[in-house]
Amino acid sequence: MIRNKFKINQLNIIVLFILFFTFGSKVVMAQNSDELLKAALKETNVNHNYNAAIKLSKQGLAISPNYTDFRVLLARLYMLTDKNNEAIKELEIVLKKKPKYIDALGYMINAQLINKNYTNALTYANQYLGYYPDDKKILIKKLSIIYLKKDYTLGEREINAALTKYPNDDELKASFAYLILGVASNYYKNGDWVKAEKEYKSVLAIDQKNAIALQTLFNLSLKINKPEAALHYAELIKKYKLDPDIDLKRANLLKTINRFDEAEEIARNLKNQKPNEPEVAALYKNILFAQAKYLLENADTINAMGSYRKVIQAYPADTLIRNQLINLQLLQKSYNDAIMTIDTALVYYHNQQAIQLKKLSIMQMSATETDTYNFAKVLNNSYPENEGISSIYNDLWEKTHQNRVGMSYANTSFNQTGREPWNVYSFFYTSHQKFGSLTGRLNYADRFYAKGYQFELEAYTVHTKGYSYIDFAYSNALVFPKFKAAYSYFLPLKHNDEIEIGSRYTNNSSDIFSFAAAYGKFFNRYYLNLKTYLTPIHGKVANAYLLNQRYYLTGLREDYVTFIAGYGFSPDNRAVNFEINDRLNLQSISFTAGYQQAFFQRHIGGIFATLNNQEYAPGKKRNELEISLSYQYKF
């Protein structure tokens, strides 16, 4: 019995020993694994000693191969140490055993993203949401993956589904809007305006106050020439107070589409709010200026001038705008208004000479010659060096002092034996009228064989496109033709050219008709004229040619030097036209030099000399030297 009891006790002891080592070792191992996990987590999260944490995790797995937390931590540590592929292997082991392991799914999504394996990342994201459908962070991550894959159609569908499920979740809306903004921005940068516009509109469908979408759609609408759409977005930007300068942009846009009244109202309000803001002031001015230009282009001159007046009222010192108004008033022949526009702003013009010269030019078109002359006289005294003012002043002086009286004396001497000198005296009075000028002249000739008087009437008449010269003379003395008449029409051309066509009639012992033609041209102060006379007589045509050169010394037409070369007989030569019958078919070559000058403004004196080599009989020639003096007085 004692032996049997001993055997039973011995058996119990063995069983207890086996049980102790079996379960006790497991307890010890579990305790060791937990301690290792704690140590590994401390190295990871506190000390950031990832290599030490990896070593501890591997020790833990060696002890407890099925301890999933070690494997997930190890996968995380591999990701932290850029061993992404090792991390994926560990996570695959975990998810194979525990497909719903939330941390493993999250790490796997990130690991696949790091490897840019977006398809796998999306698969695990769908797996995650299949188990945990209300996790919004993973939902956002899933949408990000879809957009990384550039599957925008799927992305749009998923976003719409999410918005249906969470219609009031502002955080989700903001995230979705951010994703679509990225797509829209890429389209915009690549110049795909249509797709960019569509995506930005999608952002607004989610977030109607999105500043980036509204601002970009505003700019994009301007770029693709959709001004009405741009105005719509500008109104929304203003409504949500997203851009403090949007009113400036709205006004500029309204100006570009010719909605000037609306643009002006906005600019005026801005000007009242920000009176010292240069950009606002410039905008208001530009709007009115653009409106005036637009109205002018559409032939609405009256309202255009109104726009200019508004600018001047607001900016009286702006001489550029003022000059444009003056030019417009001149175009409308509102000369008095133009002068008033100048007079009200003389202090603002830095170049007083230029604006006063412009006023003087306007007065020439509107004021009386006397008033214009008096103003020109004041300006000429103030700015004597200004050639423009001096030129107008001199012209006006001539026009207001055109009436004149004068006399001349000519002496012709001959180198022919026995031939006495000729003397010709002339007295005249000229009156200037609106139609032109009229001159009455009394000529007296004292020749060696006879004396006598000639009465002459001469006129220049102005036409629309030219002017005429008319002359009549009568004498009953042998020393003058009995009758003389002349007519010429002068037509100014471009480039300071002029042509003359005319006829001459002389009656001495018979009737003689001549035809005249000339071409003249000004080269600044130099004048050149070539003239010919053709006279049919006795079945032949006598011809004569004159080349007249004149250089004007000043702006006055009376101040000049001249040189004339001639061939043949000229019917306009007063000194010898009483011998027209005898001289027409005889050779003649002449040269004339002359000088005339105004002095003391009202007085004009001149001296001229002509040497004529004249054939007085077939094969016989003589030299004739004519010296003439002249004097005129203007009043």
Q: Residue 499 pLDDT > 80, yes or no?
A: yes
Residue corresponding to tokens 């180198």:
415
pLDDT tens digits, 250-292: 999 999 999 999 999 999 999 899 888 889 988 988 998 898 8
How confident is residue 22, by pLDDT bands cut at 50, 70 and 90? Answer: very low
Cβ 595 vs Cβ 607: under 8 Å: yes
Cβ 468 vs Cβ 442: under 8 Å: no
Cα separation of 594 and 606, whole Å?
A: 7
Which structure tokens are listed for 147?
């957009």
Topology, domain 402-634: Porin (2.40.160)
Which structure tokens are listed for 513?
């008709």
Instruction: State the DSSP code for 635.
Output: -
Q: Other CB atoms closer than 10 Å to residue 188's CB: what's the count? A: 20
The chain-wide mean pLDDT, for the chain, equals 90
pLDDT for 306 equals 87
Q: What SS3 state is found at 423?
A: strand
Which structure tokens are listed for 320?
């550029």
Q: What SS3 state is found at 54?
A: helix
CA dihedral over 313, 317, 321, 326, signed as positive or negative: positive
Cα separation of 572 and 616, whole Å?
A: 19
Which structure tokens are listed for 369?
């010659």
Torsion angles phi and psi, residue 191, rounded to 5: 80, 15
Range scoring the smallest mean pLDDT among 13-22, 86-95, 469-478: 13-22
Instruction: State the DSSP code for 351.
Output: -
Task: List the beta strands (DSSP E) in 9-160.
Answer: none
Which structure tokens are listed for 308?
């200019």
Q: Other CB atoms closer than 10 Å to residue 595's CB: what's the count? A: 14
583, exposed or middle or buried, with CB in 10 Å at 0-12, 13-18, 19+? Answer: buried
Distances in whole angstroms, Cα of residue 139 to Cα of each of 114, 128, 541, 627: 18, 9, 114, 118
Which structure tokens are listed for 69?
């937390």
pLDDT tens digits, 546-575: 999 999 998 778 899 999 999 998 889 887
Higher pLDDT, 555 or 52: 52
Cα separation of 290 and 502, whole Å?
A: 54
517: which residues sit within 8 A by CB, 6+ positions away?
499, 500, 501, 502, 531, 532, 534
Cα separation of 429 and 407, whole Å?
A: 9
Cα separation of 56 and 52, whole Å?
A: 6
pLDDT tens digits, 335-359: 999 999 999 888 899 889 999 999 9
Instruction: State the DSSP code for 577.
Output: G
Q: Other CB atoms closer than 10 Å to residue 119's CB: what's the count? A: 9
Which structure tokens are listed for 49?
């000693």
Cα separation of 284 and 252, whole Å?
A: 9
Cα separation of 131 and 139, whole Å?
A: 12
Which stretches within 417-463 are classed as H helix?
Answer: none
How confident is residue 55, by pLDDT bands cut at 50, 70 and 90? Answer: very high
Torsion angles phi and psi, residue 449, rounded to 5: -115, -10
Cα separation of 124 and 107, whole Å?
A: 10
pLDDT for 31 equals 55
pLDDT tens digits, 399-438: 777 799 999 999 999 998 888 999 999 999 999 887 889 9
Closest CA to 73 of 115, 97, 103, 95: 103
Higher pLDDT, 113 or 301: 113
Range scoring the smallest mean pLDDT among 315-329, 466-480, 497-511: 315-329
Torsion angles phi and psi, residue 316, rounded to 5: -65, -25
pTM given for the model: 0.53
pLDDT for 18 equals 39
One-letter amino acid of 391: S
Cβ 484 vs Cβ 574: under 8 Å: no
Domain boundaries, the chain: 402-634
